Amino acid sequence: MDGRQLSELPDDSEQLRPYVVSLRRAALQAEELQAVRSFSDGFLIRFLRARDFDTAQSLKLLLNYLQWRRASPEISSCLSPSSVLGLLNTSYHAVLPQRDHTGSRVLIYRISQWNPKEWSAFQVFRVSLMTSEIISMETETQRRGLKAIFDLKGWNLSHAWHINPSLAKKISSVLTDSFPLKVRGIHLVNEPMFFRPVFAMIRPFLPDKIKQRIHMHSTEFHNTLRDFFPQQILPPEYGGGGPGIEVACQDWTHQLVQSENLLQQIAEHPTGDVSTVSDDSLISEEAENKEPSAVGCLD
């Protein structure tokens, strides 16, 4: 049975057990993790699925993930939706309610809604990290990965000034080798000419596999996105027949806010290994209606 076939098995399958045991043993023997006493099965399976059950590659990804968290406390130590609620309420970000035809999650980021005078690049990046932590708990997303649409309408020099080489490298690390998610596609729409210098900063850090999955649509995206996504799942603003982007953003903001406590537990845990979910209930279930408590974050 190959890695892709193993990935289809449920977390509690006996056939996955040897891989989980092997990865746990290797992780606990790693010099970098001497202070760590244990890892849950569900947490380790995320990394195994992300690397098609290649134990050596899964260990490398796990070590990279933990190293990234330690090296980027300004981002990883504050996963609080309430701290960026003003940004979320501008309809900056959505995870579409329906998956695409391959089962991938589809994420949308709208740069025109980011005001750099009010929100730093670190805060904006935290939004992406919060979403990544939540959807990485979904079994189907572990198997099918994600695709992201970046709408660069409104991109200007004030945005560009916020993206330095250090942050560019951290962003590329999450996209490539430091997070247990498979990135199946990156789609840029409305990209202006002066976005290219920023993209040129990020591009060298990306492996060829990811470079080949980047698609630039310019202003023709209403027609070209349909070549990659089912029309019925895309918002009308992107040439589709699904829920409007404002509704999609509001719904995902609600999901993030309801995950405040879980995200804070992940941020505060030494490895991020906290309770997981085994299905897509984070998107589909009605959550309790309660106000999030404000959390202070350094920016």
Three-class DSSP category at 147: strand
- Residue 299, pLDDT above cutoff 70: no
Q: Each residue of 55-111: pLDDT tens digit?
A: 999 999 999 999 999 988 888 889 999 999 999 999 999 999 999 999 999 999 999
Strand partners, 216: 188
CA distances from 295 to 93, 254, 264 (A): 20, 17, 9
Q: How far apart are CA 282 and CA 132, in angstroms?
A: 13
**What letter would DSSP give residue 212?**
T
Domains in the chain with CATH codes? 3-71 (1.10.8.20), 77-258 (3.40.525.10)
Q: Which amino acid, residue 95? A: V
Q: Which amino acid, residue 39? A: F
Report the predicted TM-score, pTM, of the whole model to 2 decimal places.
Answer: 0.89
**CA angle (169, 173, 177) in 5-degree steps:** 150
The more confident residue out of 34 and 293 is 34
Mean pLDDT of the chain: 89
- Residue 281, pLDDT above cutoff 60: no
Q: Each residue of 190-225: pLDDT tens digit?
A: 998 877 777 888 788 888 888 899 999 999 999 999
pLDDT of residue 194: 75
